[in-house]
Amino acid sequence: MNQEFQESVYREISYRENSFTGNLIKAEDVKITGTAKISLEEDGHDGVKIILKKDAHDNIKEIKFVCSCGETKSVLLDYSE
């Protein structure tokens, strides 16, 4: 029951720095860049889902709006100076 209330922490990876062909990404080409917490909120009236992506310190890194029609819009937040 304790696990139901814990937030899931996911590993973030980067693979775009290496050039690869096709749809295959090799393990040696992937680098773990950090961790993120992802939560989903849904607005029942307008059919818009809001996905919040947070870092390990609960700072919001990305806000993604997903419409029921399939369109998405993202806001990326950068806290560096």
Is 16 part of a structural domain of the chain?
yes
Range of the domain at 66: 2-76
Read off the pTM: 0.58
Is 13 part of a structural domain of the chain?
yes
CA distance 52 to 39: 5
Is 53 part of a structural domain of the chain?
yes
Q: Could you read off the pLDDT of 4-63 as tens digits, one per residue?
A: 555 677 777 777 666 666 777 777 777 888 788 887 777 656 778 888 888 877 888 889
- For the cut 60, the answer to whether the pLDDT of residue 3 exceeds it is no
Is 81 part of a structural domain of the chain?
no
With CA atoms as reference, report the closest residue to 9 among 33, 34, 27: 34
The number of folded domains in the chain is 1
SS (H, E, C) 4-37: HHCCCEEEEEECCCCCCCCCCCCHHHCEEEEEEE
Confidence at 1, pLDDT banded by 50, 70, 90: very low
